[in-house]
Amino acid sequence: MTTKVPPLTYKVIAECSVTKARAGLMTLRHGEVNTPVFMPVGTQGTLKGLLPDQLIELNCQILLGNTYHLGIRPGIETLQKAGGLHNFMGWPRNILTDSGGFQMVSLLKLAEIDENGVNFCSPFDNSECMLTPEHSIQIQNTIGADIMMQLDDVVKTTTVGPRVEEAMHRTIRWLDRCITAHARDDDQSLFPIVQGALDANLRKQCAYALIQRKVRGYAVGGLSGGESKHEFWRTVNLCTDLLPKEKPRYLMGVGFAADLVVCVALGIDMFDCVFPTRTARFGCALVNTGQLNLKNKKYEDDMRPIDEECECSTCRRYTRSYLHHIATSQSVSCSLLSIHNVAYQLRLMRSMREAILRDQFPQFVCDFMAKHFEGETVPLWIREALQAVNVELPHDENDATVNVA
Protein backbone atom coordinates (compact mmCIF):
# COMPACT_ATOMS: atom_id res chain seq x y z
CA MET A 1 0.00 0.00 0.00
CA THR A 2 1.42 3.39 -1.05
CA THR A 3 1.86 5.93 1.75
CA LYS A 4 0.68 9.41 0.83
CA VAL A 5 3.45 12.02 0.86
CA PRO A 6 2.96 14.53 3.71
CA PRO A 7 1.80 18.01 2.65
CA LEU A 8 5.03 19.45 4.03
CA THR A 9 8.49 17.94 4.11
CA TYR A 10 11.59 19.83 5.16
CA LYS A 11 15.23 18.91 4.74
CA VAL A 12 18.25 20.85 5.96
CA ILE A 13 20.60 20.92 2.97
CA ALA A 14 23.51 22.77 4.58
CA GLU A 15 24.40 24.36 7.91
CA CYS A 16 26.77 27.24 8.58
CA SER A 17 29.78 25.93 10.49
CA VAL A 18 29.91 29.10 12.62
CA THR A 19 26.39 30.52 13.11
CA LYS A 20 22.98 28.86 13.42
CA ALA A 21 22.11 29.67 9.78
CA ARG A 22 20.95 26.83 7.58
CA ALA A 23 19.76 26.31 4.01
CA GLY A 24 16.79 24.01 3.56
CA LEU A 25 14.32 22.62 1.08
CA MET A 26 10.63 22.70 2.02
CA THR A 27 8.31 20.77 -0.28
CA LEU A 28 4.62 21.68 -0.25
CA ARG A 29 1.60 20.74 -2.36
CA HIS A 30 2.17 23.67 -4.72
CA GLY A 31 5.90 23.30 -5.17
CA GLU A 32 9.27 23.56 -3.53
CA VAL A 33 10.44 26.43 -1.33
CA ASN A 34 14.14 27.13 -0.84
CA THR A 35 14.97 28.44 2.61
CA PRO A 36 15.78 30.88 4.02
CA VAL A 37 12.78 32.50 2.36
CA PHE A 38 10.98 35.84 2.45
CA MET A 39 7.21 35.74 1.84
CA PRO A 40 5.62 38.87 0.33
CA VAL A 41 2.30 39.78 1.95
CA GLY A 42 -0.89 39.68 -0.11
CA THR A 43 -3.37 40.45 2.66
CA GLN A 44 -6.59 40.02 0.67
CA GLY A 45 -5.32 37.69 -2.03
CA THR A 46 -3.39 40.35 -3.89
CA LEU A 47 0.03 41.91 -3.50
CA LYS A 48 -0.33 45.68 -3.78
CA GLY A 49 1.14 46.69 -7.11
CA LEU A 50 2.03 43.22 -8.45
CA LEU A 51 0.26 40.59 -10.54
CA PRO A 52 0.75 36.85 -9.90
CA ASP A 53 2.65 36.53 -13.21
CA GLN A 54 5.08 39.23 -12.08
CA LEU A 55 5.69 37.35 -8.82
CA ILE A 56 6.39 34.18 -10.78
CA GLU A 57 8.86 36.09 -12.96
CA LEU A 58 10.64 37.09 -9.72
CA ASN A 59 10.64 33.39 -8.72
CA CYS A 60 8.54 34.00 -5.63
CA GLN A 61 7.80 30.52 -4.29
CA ILE A 62 5.36 31.37 -1.49
CA LEU A 63 3.28 34.37 -0.41
CA LEU A 64 1.14 35.23 2.59
CA GLY A 65 -2.58 35.93 2.95
CA ASN A 66 -4.58 37.13 5.95
CA THR A 67 -7.34 34.92 7.33
CA TYR A 68 -9.18 37.71 9.14
CA HIS A 69 -9.39 39.98 6.10
CA LEU A 70 -10.14 37.17 3.63
CA GLY A 71 -12.84 35.84 5.96
CA ILE A 72 -14.57 39.22 5.87
CA ARG A 73 -13.97 40.02 2.21
CA PRO A 74 -14.47 38.14 -0.11
CA GLY A 75 -15.78 35.78 2.60
CA ILE A 76 -15.84 32.03 3.05
CA GLU A 77 -18.78 31.36 0.67
CA THR A 78 -17.09 33.11 -2.24
CA LEU A 79 -13.82 31.29 -1.57
CA GLN A 80 -15.69 27.97 -1.52
CA LYS A 81 -17.29 28.73 -4.89
CA ALA A 82 -13.90 29.65 -6.31
CA GLY A 83 -12.33 26.42 -5.10
CA GLY A 84 -9.93 28.15 -2.72
CA LEU A 85 -7.61 31.12 -2.80
CA HIS A 86 -5.15 29.66 -5.32
CA ASN A 87 -7.90 29.51 -7.96
CA PHE A 88 -9.51 32.75 -6.85
CA MET A 89 -6.36 34.85 -7.28
CA GLY A 90 -4.78 32.82 -10.11
CA TRP A 91 -1.70 31.87 -8.08
CA PRO A 92 -0.26 28.40 -8.81
CA ARG A 93 2.40 28.40 -6.10
CA ASN A 94 2.36 28.15 -2.31
CA ILE A 95 0.38 30.23 0.16
CA LEU A 96 0.75 30.68 3.91
CA THR A 97 -2.12 32.24 5.86
CA ASP A 98 -1.85 33.85 9.25
CA SER A 99 -4.72 33.14 11.60
CA GLY A 100 -6.08 36.60 12.36
CA GLY A 101 -4.45 36.65 15.79
CA PHE A 102 -2.30 39.69 15.01
CA GLN A 103 -5.46 41.72 14.52
CA MET A 104 -5.99 41.42 18.28
CA VAL A 105 -3.21 43.99 18.56
CA SER A 106 -3.59 45.97 15.33
CA LEU A 107 -7.38 46.26 15.71
CA LEU A 108 -7.51 46.12 19.51
CA LYS A 109 -10.04 48.94 19.73
CA LEU A 110 -12.36 46.85 17.55
CA ALA A 111 -11.86 43.53 19.40
CA GLU A 112 -12.90 41.79 22.59
CA ILE A 113 -10.99 38.68 23.68
CA ASP A 114 -12.10 35.82 25.90
CA GLU A 115 -11.52 32.06 26.16
CA ASN A 116 -13.93 31.37 23.31
CA GLY A 117 -12.15 33.58 20.79
CA VAL A 118 -12.00 37.15 19.53
CA ASN A 119 -15.08 39.23 18.81
CA PHE A 120 -14.21 41.75 16.11
CA CYS A 121 -16.15 44.75 14.91
CA SER A 122 -15.69 44.88 11.14
CA PRO A 123 -13.75 47.98 10.01
CA PHE A 124 -15.85 47.94 6.82
CA ASP A 125 -19.47 47.92 8.03
CA ASN A 126 -19.27 47.70 11.86
CA SER A 127 -20.83 44.22 11.86
CA GLU A 128 -19.61 41.80 14.54
CA CYS A 129 -17.49 38.75 13.71
CA MET A 130 -16.56 36.08 16.25
CA LEU A 131 -13.23 34.49 15.34
CA THR A 132 -12.70 31.29 17.33
CA PRO A 133 -9.88 28.79 16.84
CA GLU A 134 -12.37 26.54 15.05
CA HIS A 135 -13.63 29.31 12.77
CA SER A 136 -10.08 30.43 11.94
CA ILE A 137 -9.22 26.88 10.86
CA GLN A 138 -12.47 26.55 8.91
CA ILE A 139 -11.62 29.70 6.94
CA GLN A 140 -8.05 28.53 6.33
CA ASN A 141 -9.23 25.08 5.24
CA THR A 142 -11.50 26.84 2.74
CA ILE A 143 -8.71 29.14 1.59
CA GLY A 144 -6.63 26.03 0.96
CA ALA A 145 -3.36 27.55 2.21
CA ASP A 146 -0.39 25.20 2.10
CA ILE A 147 0.64 26.39 5.57
CA MET A 148 -1.88 27.62 8.13
CA MET A 149 -1.24 29.37 11.42
CA GLN A 150 -3.02 28.56 14.63
CA LEU A 151 -5.18 31.27 16.20
CA ASP A 152 -3.07 32.64 19.03
CA ASP A 153 -3.75 35.12 21.81
CA VAL A 154 -1.51 38.01 20.87
CA VAL A 155 -0.56 40.81 23.24
CA LYS A 156 1.59 43.84 22.51
CA THR A 157 5.21 42.79 22.95
CA THR A 158 5.90 45.33 25.68
CA THR A 159 2.99 44.08 27.83
CA VAL A 160 4.01 42.87 31.29
CA GLY A 161 2.17 41.19 34.14
CA PRO A 162 -0.41 38.39 34.30
CA ARG A 163 -1.93 39.15 30.88
CA VAL A 164 1.24 37.83 29.17
CA GLU A 165 1.08 34.49 30.98
CA GLU A 166 -2.67 34.24 30.37
CA ALA A 167 -2.11 34.79 26.62
CA MET A 168 0.69 32.21 26.46
CA HIS A 169 -1.35 29.46 28.15
CA ARG A 170 -4.43 30.35 26.09
CA THR A 171 -2.36 30.10 22.90
CA ILE A 172 -1.53 26.49 23.85
CA ARG A 173 -5.17 25.67 24.59
CA TRP A 174 -6.27 27.29 21.33
CA LEU A 175 -3.65 25.25 19.45
CA ASP A 176 -5.28 22.04 20.66
CA ARG A 177 -8.66 23.32 19.47
CA CYS A 178 -7.11 24.23 16.09
CA ILE A 179 -5.60 20.75 15.73
CA THR A 180 -8.97 19.14 16.51
CA ALA A 181 -10.78 21.40 14.03
CA HIS A 182 -8.25 20.91 11.21
CA ALA A 183 -10.11 18.93 8.54
CA ARG A 184 -7.49 18.81 5.76
CA ASP A 185 -4.29 17.58 7.38
CA ASP A 186 -3.45 15.55 4.27
CA ASP A 187 -3.21 18.75 2.21
CA GLN A 188 -2.42 21.57 4.62
CA SER A 189 0.07 21.96 7.46
CA LEU A 190 -0.72 23.77 10.72
CA PHE A 191 2.03 25.73 12.48
CA PRO A 192 1.77 26.60 16.18
CA ILE A 193 3.13 29.94 17.42
CA VAL A 194 5.55 30.45 20.29
CA GLN A 195 4.26 33.28 22.48
CA GLY A 196 5.32 34.75 25.82
CA ALA A 197 6.26 38.34 24.94
CA LEU A 198 9.72 39.18 26.34
CA ASP A 199 9.57 36.75 29.26
CA ALA A 200 12.17 34.03 28.66
CA ASN A 201 10.53 31.57 31.05
CA LEU A 202 7.14 31.94 29.36
CA ARG A 203 8.73 31.52 25.92
CA LYS A 204 10.38 28.31 27.18
CA GLN A 205 7.13 26.98 28.64
CA CYS A 206 5.29 27.71 25.41
CA ALA A 207 7.95 26.17 23.17
CA TYR A 208 8.16 23.00 25.28
CA ALA A 209 4.38 22.60 25.13
CA LEU A 210 4.21 23.13 21.36
CA ILE A 211 6.98 20.62 20.71
CA GLN A 212 4.79 17.92 22.32
CA ARG A 213 2.17 18.39 19.59
CA LYS A 214 2.38 16.65 16.23
CA VAL A 215 3.10 19.54 13.83
CA ARG A 216 5.36 20.11 10.81
CA GLY A 217 6.85 23.49 11.64
CA TYR A 218 6.83 26.34 14.15
CA ALA A 219 6.42 30.10 14.21
CA VAL A 220 7.82 32.70 16.58
CA GLY A 221 5.20 35.38 17.13
CA GLY A 222 4.61 38.50 19.16
CA LEU A 223 7.73 40.41 18.12
CA SER A 224 8.34 43.60 16.08
CA GLY A 225 5.72 45.22 18.28
CA GLY A 226 7.63 48.02 19.98
CA GLU A 227 10.27 46.08 21.91
CA SER A 228 13.90 47.17 21.82
CA LYS A 229 16.15 45.49 19.27
CA HIS A 230 18.22 44.08 22.13
CA GLU A 231 15.11 42.33 23.49
CA PHE A 232 14.10 41.31 19.97
CA TRP A 233 17.26 39.41 19.03
CA ARG A 234 17.59 37.72 22.42
CA THR A 235 14.04 36.38 22.15
CA VAL A 236 14.63 35.10 18.62
CA ASN A 237 17.90 33.46 19.69
CA LEU A 238 16.20 31.77 22.64
CA CYS A 239 13.38 30.40 20.50
CA THR A 240 15.66 28.94 17.84
CA ASP A 241 17.66 27.24 20.59
CA LEU A 242 14.44 25.62 21.83
CA LEU A 243 12.75 24.57 18.58
CA PRO A 244 13.59 21.33 16.76
CA LYS A 245 16.32 21.56 14.13
CA GLU A 246 14.57 19.22 11.69
CA LYS A 247 11.52 21.48 11.21
CA PRO A 248 11.16 24.95 9.64
CA ARG A 249 11.10 28.03 11.88
CA TYR A 250 9.09 31.07 10.85
CA LEU A 251 9.59 34.55 12.37
CA MET A 252 6.40 36.52 11.85
CA GLY A 253 6.29 40.12 10.68
CA VAL A 254 10.02 40.78 10.15
CA GLY A 255 11.28 42.27 6.89
CA PHE A 256 14.00 44.94 7.26
CA ALA A 257 17.11 43.75 5.44
CA ALA A 258 19.51 43.94 8.40
CA ASP A 259 16.96 42.13 10.58
CA LEU A 260 16.66 39.36 8.00
CA VAL A 261 20.42 38.83 7.88
CA VAL A 262 20.75 38.77 11.68
CA CYS A 263 17.80 36.43 12.15
CA VAL A 264 19.02 33.98 9.50
CA ALA A 265 22.28 33.90 11.47
CA LEU A 266 20.19 33.14 14.57
CA GLY A 267 18.56 30.15 12.86
CA ILE A 268 15.30 31.43 11.33
CA ASP A 269 14.13 29.99 7.98
CA MET A 270 11.00 31.95 7.01
CA PHE A 271 9.94 35.60 7.15
CA ASP A 272 7.10 37.88 6.04
CA CYS A 273 6.46 41.61 6.13
CA VAL A 274 4.46 44.30 4.32
CA PHE A 275 7.50 46.58 4.34
CA PRO A 276 8.73 46.13 0.73
CA THR A 277 5.42 47.06 -0.88
CA ARG A 278 4.41 49.60 1.76
CA THR A 279 7.63 51.59 1.42
CA ALA A 280 7.24 51.46 -2.38
CA ARG A 281 3.99 53.41 -2.03
CA PHE A 282 6.01 56.22 -0.45
CA GLY A 283 8.46 56.36 -3.34
CA CYS A 284 11.26 54.42 -1.64
CA ALA A 285 13.43 51.75 -3.26
CA LEU A 286 15.43 49.12 -1.36
CA VAL A 287 19.16 48.77 -2.03
CA ASN A 288 22.07 47.25 -0.12
CA THR A 289 22.90 50.62 1.43
CA GLY A 290 19.36 50.96 2.79
CA GLN A 291 16.69 52.95 0.94
CA LEU A 292 16.63 55.46 -1.90
CA ASN A 293 13.92 58.07 -1.44
CA LEU A 294 13.25 58.67 -5.10
CA LYS A 295 11.14 61.74 -4.35
CA ASN A 296 14.39 63.48 -3.47
CA LYS A 297 15.36 66.18 -5.96
CA LYS A 298 18.85 64.74 -6.41
CA TYR A 299 17.38 61.93 -8.52
CA GLU A 300 15.59 64.15 -11.06
CA ASP A 301 18.36 63.79 -13.65
CA ASP A 302 19.86 60.48 -12.48
CA MET A 303 19.80 58.18 -15.50
CA ARG A 304 20.98 55.07 -13.67
CA PRO A 305 18.67 52.22 -12.69
CA ILE A 306 17.75 51.86 -9.02
CA ASP A 307 20.35 49.11 -8.65
CA GLU A 308 22.78 48.27 -11.45
CA GLU A 309 23.10 44.70 -10.12
CA CYS A 310 19.35 44.07 -10.04
CA GLU A 311 17.78 42.20 -12.95
CA CYS A 312 14.13 43.00 -12.18
CA SER A 313 12.01 44.48 -14.97
CA THR A 314 11.98 47.89 -13.29
CA CYS A 315 15.78 48.12 -13.16
CA ARG A 316 16.10 46.80 -16.71
CA ARG A 317 13.79 49.43 -18.18
CA TYR A 318 13.52 52.54 -16.02
CA THR A 319 15.86 55.13 -14.56
CA ARG A 320 15.89 56.80 -11.17
CA SER A 321 15.01 60.01 -12.98
CA TYR A 322 11.86 58.53 -14.50
CA LEU A 323 10.80 57.04 -11.17
CA HIS A 324 11.52 60.36 -9.42
CA HIS A 325 9.13 62.20 -11.70
CA ILE A 326 6.25 59.76 -11.18
CA ALA A 327 6.91 58.69 -7.57
CA THR A 328 3.68 58.83 -5.48
CA SER A 329 1.95 60.97 -8.12
CA GLN A 330 1.23 58.13 -10.56
CA SER A 331 -0.18 54.77 -9.49
CA VAL A 332 2.20 52.93 -11.81
CA SER A 333 5.13 54.09 -9.65
CA CYS A 334 3.83 51.92 -6.80
CA SER A 335 3.86 48.91 -9.11
CA LEU A 336 7.33 49.59 -10.51
CA LEU A 337 8.87 50.15 -7.09
CA SER A 338 7.03 47.19 -5.56
CA ILE A 339 8.45 44.92 -8.27
CA HIS A 340 11.95 46.09 -7.46
CA ASN A 341 11.53 45.96 -3.67
CA VAL A 342 10.15 42.43 -3.68
CA ALA A 343 12.92 41.43 -6.11
CA TYR A 344 15.46 42.91 -3.69
CA GLN A 345 14.12 40.91 -0.73
CA LEU A 346 14.05 37.66 -2.70
CA ARG A 347 17.56 38.24 -4.07
CA LEU A 348 18.85 38.92 -0.55
CA MET A 349 17.45 35.60 0.64
CA ARG A 350 18.95 33.75 -2.33
CA SER A 351 22.33 35.36 -1.66
CA MET A 352 22.24 34.22 1.96
CA ARG A 353 21.27 30.72 0.93
CA GLU A 354 24.14 30.54 -1.56
CA ALA A 355 26.59 31.77 1.10
CA ILE A 356 25.37 29.08 3.51
CA LEU A 357 25.73 26.40 0.86
CA ARG A 358 29.34 27.51 0.27
CA ASP A 359 29.89 27.76 4.05
CA GLN A 360 30.83 31.41 3.60
CA PHE A 361 27.89 32.91 5.47
CA PRO A 362 29.90 34.76 8.17
CA GLN A 363 31.86 36.59 5.45
CA PHE A 364 28.58 37.39 3.67
CA VAL A 365 27.21 38.89 6.90
CA CYS A 366 30.33 40.99 7.36
CA ASP A 367 30.28 42.26 3.78
CA PHE A 368 26.55 43.02 3.94
CA MET A 369 26.80 45.00 7.18
CA ALA A 370 29.80 46.97 5.90
CA LYS A 371 27.78 48.01 2.84
CA HIS A 372 24.46 48.51 4.60
CA PHE A 373 25.96 50.77 7.25
CA GLU A 374 28.60 52.39 5.05
CA GLY A 375 29.78 55.58 6.71
CA GLU A 376 27.77 54.74 9.83
CA THR A 377 28.30 52.76 13.01
CA VAL A 378 26.77 49.30 12.96
CA PRO A 379 24.12 49.28 15.72
CA LEU A 380 25.26 47.68 18.97
CA TRP A 381 22.34 45.23 18.97
CA ILE A 382 23.51 43.79 15.63
CA ARG A 383 27.06 43.40 16.89
CA GLU A 384 25.85 41.66 20.04
CA ALA A 385 23.43 39.39 18.17
CA LEU A 386 26.16 38.27 15.79
CA GLN A 387 28.64 37.81 18.64
CA ALA A 388 26.11 35.40 20.18
CA VAL A 389 26.57 33.17 17.10
CA ASN A 390 30.35 33.58 16.98
CA VAL A 391 30.70 36.37 14.41
CA GLU A 392 32.67 39.49 15.33
CA LEU A 393 32.12 42.35 12.91
CA PRO A 394 35.28 44.33 12.11
CA HIS A 395 35.50 47.80 13.62
CA ASP A 396 37.67 49.26 10.87
CA GLU A 397 35.34 50.25 8.03
CA ASN A 398 38.14 49.44 5.58
CA ASP A 399 38.49 45.89 6.93
CA ALA A 400 35.65 43.66 5.74
CA THR A 401 37.32 40.41 6.80
CA VAL A 402 35.16 38.47 9.21
CA ASN A 403 36.48 37.48 12.60
CA VAL A 404 35.14 34.23 13.95
CA ALA A 405 34.85 34.30 17.72
Rounded to whole angstroms, the Cα distance separating 270 from 225 reads 18
- The verdict on whether residue 239 carries a ligand-binding annotation is no
- The verdict on whether residue 178 carries a ligand-binding annotation is no
Among residues 98, 153, 259, 307, which one is catalytic? 98
Q: Is 295 exposed, middle or buried (0-12, 13-18, 19+ CB in 10 A)?
A: middle
Cα four-point dihedral sign 45, 48, 51, 55: negative
- Annotation marks residue 98 as catalytic: yes
- The verdict on whether residue 222 carries a ligand-binding annotation is yes
Three-state DSSP string of the chain: CCCCCCCEEEEEEEECCCCCCEEEEEEECCEEEEECEEEEECCCCCECCECHHHHHHCCCCEEEEEHHHHHHHHHHHHHHHHCCHHHHHCCCCEEEEECCCCHHHHCHHHEEECCCCEEEECCCCCCEEEECHHHHHHHHHHHCCCEEECCCCCCCCCCCCHHHHHHHHHHHHHHHHHHHHCCCCCCCEEECEECCCCCHHHHHHHHHHHHCCCCCCEEECCCCCCCCHHHHHHHHHHHHHHCCCCCCEEECCCCCHHHHHHHHHCCCCEEEECHHHHHHCCCEEEECCEEEECCCHHHCCCCCCCCCCCCCHHHHHCCHHHHHHHCCCCHHHHHHHHHHHHHHHHHHHHHHHHHHHCCCHHHHHHHHHHHHCCCCCCCHHHHHHHHCCCEECCCCCCCCCCEEC
- The verdict on whether residue 152 carries a ligand-binding annotation is yes
- Annotation marks residue 125 as catalytic: no
Contact predicate 150/191, CB 8 Å: yes
- The verdict on whether residue 99 carries a ligand-binding annotation is yes
Among residues 153, 259, 269, 272, which one is catalytic? 272
- The verdict on whether residue 315 carries a ligand-binding annotation is yes
- The verdict on whether residue 102 carries a ligand-binding annotation is yes
- The verdict on whether residue 75 carries a ligand-binding annotation is no
Task: Mark the binding-site residues, compressed into ranges.
Answer: 98-102, 152, 195, 222, 310, 312, 315, 340
Q: Would you name the residues annotated as active-site residues?
A: 98, 272
Task: Mark the binding-site residues for substrate, compressed into ranges.
Answer: 98-102, 152, 195, 222
Task: Mark the binding-site residues for Zn(2+), compressed into ranges.
Answer: 310, 312, 315, 340
